[in-house]
Amino acid sequence: MKSALLAASLVLVGGTAFGCSGGSDGAPADASQDDYCTSYRTLFADMSTMTEATDAEIIAKIKDWGATMQETGTPSDMPDDARAGFETTLAFIDDLAEDATAEDFEKMDSDLSEEETKQVAEFDTYTTETCGSPLDNMEAPEMPTEAPTQ
């Protein structure tokens, strides 16, 4: 469940807010919406099956997802600001250290400029409106039926 929560946090912290320079400006800008959404959802599908994953395994999945998104690209109707947020996200993932931890994600949006924050929010909005929320298909952890005794 740790990995699924981390994947979800990637979307919720500033809408997959990753702030670094660099670039994915080579990603195609003519993907079909179906291909784009399928690629986008792979991270959450993969993470939902990793119940006892280490941080290194989670980072590897995130990097694989970034490569998939880079290869797929974005639909041509994605607004420019959303595309810039997509590029910021992929740049961060590309630069992400193999030994990054969950704590690194908690502070990832602290280096974003106001403009980058807006762009990443646009990326999140576009993707949610186009593909739906990745949290819609995630199962909540099972809660205990009885309170623990003390």
Q: What is the pLDDT of residue 23?
A: 42
Most trustworthy range by pLDDT among 17-21, 87-91, 136-140:
87-91
Query: What is the rounded distance in angstroms from the CA atom of residue 82 to the CA atom of residue 15?
Result: 11
% of the chain at pLDDT higher than 90: 35
Asked if 91 and 24 count as a contact pair (C-beta separation under 8 A), the reply is: yes
For residue range 54-75, what is the model confidence (pLDDT) as tens digits?
888 888 888 899 999 999 999 9
- The predicted model gives 99-116 an average pLDDT of 77
Over 50: is that where the pLDDT of 46 sits? Answer: yes
- Nearest Cα neighbor of 123 from 62, 36, 61, 46 is 36
Q: What is the pLDDT of residue 54?
A: 84
For the chain, give the mean pLDDT.
Answer: 77
pTM equals: 0.73
Q: What is the pLDDT of residue 15?
A: 40
Quote the DSSP letter at residue 107.
Answer: T
Domain spans of the chain, in order of start: 2-20+27-137
